[in-house]
Amino acid sequence: MLKYVLSRLATFIPTFIGVTLISFAFIRVLPGDPIVVMAGERGITEERYAQLEQQFGFDRPIYVQFWDYFTGVLQGDLGNSFVTKRPVWDEFFSLFPATLELSVCAMIFAVALGLPAGVIAAVNRGKFFDRALMSTALVGYSMPIFWWALLLIIVFSGNLGWTPVSGRIDLLYYFPNATGFMLIDSIASGQDGAFVSALRHLLLPTIVLGTIPLAVIARQTRSAMLEVLGEDYIRTARAKGMSPGRINGIHALRNALIPVITVIGLSVGTLLAGAILTETIFSWPGIGKWMVDSIFRRDYPVVQGGLLLIAVMVMVVNLTVDMLYGIINPKIRKR
């Protein structure tokens, strides 16, 4: 098992270097000058422009800028925001709980509905439930996030008035944001209606963000289950008179979980990418909206640091998924 873990950890180094290079290059290929953007409508003199260019290091060769950035990253320094002057670390982790809360709820929503839907479709292959569930999953996967979000806002917020349009909680509630997770903090506050308000604000973003992972998980679960249900040991279990619930729920589903876990792990990246659109549409104060605002402001340290931190988290999740492979199927550890 140790050799298996070390082999997976070895892929971190080249991946980390590649992500660092991409995050550095990405913001610099965008049109626009960060110094001019920061100056705004006031304009800026040539003398002041040269002073700021030297202050931020833009007058140095690009490879020198990258080396300074990379060595800073290795020392745990992602720099300070050009706009707020705060360290990128502080800004990221002050906003990350909001994104994490949304992503966790979206993943719970996707797994709680996607797994049973895939199992039911596989068990009823070719029947009504199979066609209905897979057609719904295809529609859910095909819908653009921004269109789906606006449609839900129009129906449930505009026409029915059941859910709020934006934010994390109603303005009439105020309490210390101790953990950064609004559901937990609203319960801890003891204020009547605070938790319900936080839950109502979370409902639509969760559905929007979790729809695509739900569809992918459902379709992958169905495919994996169909493959396992055709194995000899499943036919043997049926011949022995074992109950369908035990066959499908224990023997078949457990062996079908490996590709499903892969999809769930990869969906973390999808959630973080989808959170950018979702948070922007619902004015959700997380890292997605923070990144979009920083791109428009050409805030290099924020965009570079945000991309790098998100990529590292996705890498950690993928490593965790690899570890789960070894636990579920010991044969994988020997490869």
Q: Which domain holds residue 188?
A: 88-334
Q: Does the residue 267 lie in any domain?
A: yes
Q: Which of 69, 70, 2, 82 is nearest to 35 (CA)?
A: 82
Are the C-beta atoms of 177 and 185 separated by less than 8 Å? yes
Instruction: Please give the radius of gyration of the chain, using alpha carbons only, rounded to the nearest integer.
Output: 24
Q: Does the residue 98 lie in any domain?
A: yes
Q: Does the residue 10 lie in any domain?
A: no
Give Dmax (Cα) for the chain: 87
Q: What CATH number is associated with residue 219?
A: 1.10.3720.10
Q: Does the residue 264 lie in any domain?
A: yes
Q: What pLDDT band is residue 15 in, cutting at 50, 70 and 90?
A: confident
* Interval 38-47 mean pLDDT: 65
Q: Which of 246, 219, 217, 218 is nearest to 233 (CA)?
A: 246
Q: Does the residue 217 lie in any domain?
A: yes
Q: What pLDDT band is residue 41 in, cutting at 50, 70 and 90?
A: low
Q: Does the residue 26 lie in any domain?
A: no
pLDDT value of residue 4:
62
What percent of the chain has a predicted confidence (pLDDT) above 70? 87
The more confidently predicted of residues 43 and 109 is 109
Give how many domains the chain has, as a whole number. Answer: 1
Q: Residue 269 class from Cβ within 10 Å (0-12 exposed, 13-18 middle, 19+ buried)?
A: middle
pLDDT in tens, 277-287: 888 888 888 88
Q: Does the residue 17 lie in any domain?
A: no
Average pLDDT over the chain, rounded to an integer: 81
What is d(CA 92, CA 81) in angstroms, rounded to the nearest whole number?
11
Tokens of 274: 């989808």
Which parts of the chain fold into alpha helices (H)? 2-10, 12-28, 34-39, 46-55, 62-74, 88-123, 128-142, 145-152, 182-189, 194-229, 232-239, 244-246, 253-281, 287-296, 300-328
What is d(CA 242, CA 104) in angstroms, rounded to the nearest whole number?
36
Asked if pLDDT for residue 228 goes beyond 60, the answer is yes
Q: Does the residue 19 lie in any domain?
A: no
Are the C-beta atoms of 275 and 288 separated by less than 8 Å? yes
Residues in the chain: 335
